[in-house]
Amino acid sequence: MPPLVELSPILTRRELRPGVVDLTVRAPGIAAAAKPGQFVHIKCGDDMLLRRPISLCDVEEDSLRLVIEAVGVGSRWLCERDAGEFLDLLGPLGDAGFPVPESGDPILLVGGGVGSAPLLMCARKAHEAGVAVDAVLGFGTAAAVIMEQDFA
């Protein structure tokens, strides 16, 4: 299936720590097709030519969860958006995403920083299939830790 373009309302916005936000956006077409390990390209304002790739953290029904760190101009722009605003999304993108076992031996997921976020959907789907999941997440400092409860 080709990627979809959706003008998606931001449903919720919360700050996980300074410079990192957690956005939930309604994007029913993308959500229905999304797999763990995929991403969306997001248009960032009218004056930025290139879309920004943002990994999918998780999917729930018709919504996507995105965890974004303000690193450059585009990601800072995204982190400044608030509930009620709209984002122009293109996705899901990325070949097959992460393979998710439907049974068998336990799996170990390893991630660091904001790069841990795309592992959540994989962990959830494996857990729902009855596969034991352990996650090892690394952060530069204790203050940088995010999503600890999500992975617990």
One digit per residue, pLDDT tens: the chain, 152 residues?
A: 789 999 999 999 999 999 999 999 999 999 999 999 999 999 998 889 999 999 999 999 999 999 999 999 999 999 999 999 999 999 999 987 888 888 889 999 999 999 999 999 999 999 999 999 999 999 999 999 999 999 98
Q: How many CA atoms lie within 13 A of 101 on its CB side?
A: 12
Query: The whole model's pTM is what?
Result: 0.94
Counting beta carbons within 10 angstroms of the beta carbon of residue 103, is it exposed (0 to 12), middle (13 to 18) or buried (19 or more)?
exposed
User: What DSSP element (H or E) covers 123?
Assistant: helix 119-128
Res 96: pLDDT:
75
Q: β-pairing, 39-43 with 52-55?
A: antiparallel
Res 20: pLDDT:
97
In the structure, how many helices (H) and strands (E) does the chain have? Answer: 4, 9
Give the other-Cβ count within 10 Å of 32's Cβ: 13
Res 107: pLDDT:
94
Q: What phi-psi label fits residue 16: left (phi over 0), alpha (psi between -120 and 50 degrees) or beta?
A: alpha
DSSP code at position 129? T
Res 46: pLDDT:
86
The string over 64-95, giving b where at least 16 C-beta atoms fall within 10 Å of a residue's C-beta and e elsewhere, is bbbbbbbeeebbebbbebeeeeebebbbbbbe
Res 98: pLDDT:
86
